[in-house]
Amino acid sequence: MFLSVAVFAQTDKPLVQFTGVVNNIDSVEAVVPYVTITNVSANNQVNLANYKGYFSFVVHERDTLRFTCVGFAPLTVVIPARITAKSYTQKVEMKAQITNLPTFHVFPWATTDEFRRDFLTMKVADDDLEIARKNLNHASLAELAKTLPRDAHEIQSANAQQMHYNIVNSHSITNPLLNPIAWGTLIKSIADGDKSRNN
């Protein structure tokens, strides 16, 4: 008797064609594909939305539907009563559910002895000040100067110095043997030296 009453109560509710699209509430244009729709009122009957979030199936009025999808919070929808058109359309909006897992650290040491050994033999990296000191060391700069090509500023400075040296020494005789004034001074000093010895 109770079974017949339950069947009569179930069939007493009119059928409705339930149609809709499942969207992401955070983005108007983003759909949620392959959402599982469970009819809690009809012995957990399961329906599935397609890859565009579209679904359409038959339900009864006042049925409770549960929308679930991985990465989204579950949503419950109740079909209203006294639907005149025998079809019900709804835009279902699901909210993304972010689950923050606890931080998990992976260490490469199996025991504390291995950690102690690696810690004692570890080479500590230089800080910025020590790196700057090594880069500005005179020995390092001298070695770099031997291998690195000169830039345009260095070439221009060298050319200017060479041109200045050529201009300064263009009218002077650097070899004293080719200088007639030097020869005259030498001969005069020899002659004066002879006179001094005679005296």
* Helix/strand/coil for 93: strand
Place of tokens 């565009």: 52
Q: pTM of the entire structure?
A: 0.47
pLDDT interval class at 3 (50, 70, 90) = very low
Cα–Cα distance for residue pair 51/30, rounded to 1 Å: 12
Cα–Cα distance for residue pair 111/102, rounded to 1 Å: 23
Cα–Cα distance for residue pair 61/80, rounded to 1 Å: 6
Cα–Cα distance for residue pair 36/61, rounded to 1 Å: 20
Domain positions in the chain: 2-94, 128-191
Cα–Cα distance for residue pair 86/10, rounded to 1 Å: 17
The mean pLDDT of the chain is: 85
Residue-level pLDDT at 142? 87
pLDDT interval class at 51 (50, 70, 90) = very high
List the one residue out of 101, 92, 10, 105 whose CA is nearest residue 47.
92
Residue 133 burial (CB count, 10 A): 11
* Level-2 CATH architecture, domain 2-94: Sandwich (2.60)
Q: Are 73 and 35 in contact (CB under 8 A)?
A: no
pLDDT at 28 exceeding the cut of 90: no
